[in-house]
Amino acid sequence: MKLYCSDVLNPRKVCALARHLRLPVERVHVNLGKGEHKAPAFLAMNPNGKVPVLVDGDLVLWESNAIMCYLAQKAGSDLWPQDGRQYEVLRWLMWDATEFAPKAGTLYFEYIIKSRFGAGPPDEAEVARATEGFRRFATVLDTHLRTHRFLAGDSLTVADFAVAITLPYAKEAHLPLDDFPEIRRWHGEMSQLEGWLDPFEEPLPAAVAA
């Protein structure tokens, strides 16, 4: 299996999951700064021009959450449940994609990605809107976690890998977590997982020429 990725949020969750499951995934670095994600060879795999992309034999799969579900099932792991909890996992994956991640991701972009790629200072108006939205949805998440160890109950699932993915950057991205003790408790448990805090630890091989 080859995972085409870079050290940004969506590939991070897949890399963290793969390390946690100890799957033999070869990571292939896609240099976003050089526009390798827009090269014809990459667009042939993912016409959206985004990382990550998983290639497993004849299968070419994009969208990080779908890749995580595939890897968990391939590993025979209950991280992608095959019982009634699957709907609970789907609910949190969809909620994250439409509600929580856009707010947290905006703060990550404004404070981290802009600086990395020399795209100027944070936009104060965008930061204010994202911070307000983050607080709103973090309240939903924190309330849920008061009665649940993990998102789908007492067991870890791919939903936890998805929803928590910005939290390792909380300080740098100015995520306002002080008022959300259950989120901090939950992320503390996630931080004990192998690979969660350092999913990119191993050096990435170079991408194939486009």
The CATH number of the domain holding residue 174 is 1.20.1050.10
In a domain, 158, yes or no: yes
In a domain, 198, yes or no: no
90/185 same-domain check:
yes
14/110 same-domain check:
no
63/93 same-domain check:
no
Per-residue confidence at 200, pLDDT binned at 50, 70, 90?
confident
Residue where a domain stops, chosen among 40, 74, 108? 74
Task: Please give the average per-residue pLDDT across 64-81, as a whole number.
Answer: 96
What does 108-166 look like in DSSP terms, one character per residue? HIIIIIHHHTT--S--HHHHHHHHHHHHHHHHHHHHHHTS-SBTTBSS--HHHHHHTTT
CA 81 to chain centre: 19
162/141 same-domain check:
yes
Q: How are beta strands 53-56 and 59-62 bridged, if at all?
A: antiparallel
The CATH number of the domain holding residue 33 is 3.40.30.10
119/174 same-domain check:
yes
Residue where a domain stops, chosen among 47, 74, 101? 74
Q: Each residue of 140-184: pLDDT tens digit?
A: 999 999 999 999 999 999 999 999 999 999 999 999 999 999 999
Nearest CA-CA partner of 194 in 62, 16, 8, 39:
16
In a domain, 167, yes or no: yes
Is pLDDT at 199 greater than 70 in this prediction? Answer: yes
In a domain, 16, yes or no: yes
Task: Return d(Cα 102, Cα 130) in angstroms, integer.
Answer: 8
The C-alpha angle 82, 185, 134, rounded to 5 degrees, equals 85
130/162 same-domain check:
yes
Describe the crossing of helices 124-145 and 101-108 by its angle, rounded to 10 degrees: 140
Q: Output the CA torsion 189→113→132→193 (10° steps).
A: -10
Is pLDDT at 205 greater than 60 in this prediction? Answer: no
In a domain, 204, yes or no: no
Q: Each residue of 90-135: pLDDT tens digit?
A: 999 999 999 999 999 999 999 999 998 889 999 999 999 999 999 9
Type and span of the H or E element at 184: helix 181-190
Number of domains in the chain: 2
In a domain, 206, yes or no: no
pTM assigned to the model: 0.92
**Domain with 145 in it:** 85-190
43/132 same-domain check:
no
159/96 same-domain check:
yes
186/89 same-domain check:
yes
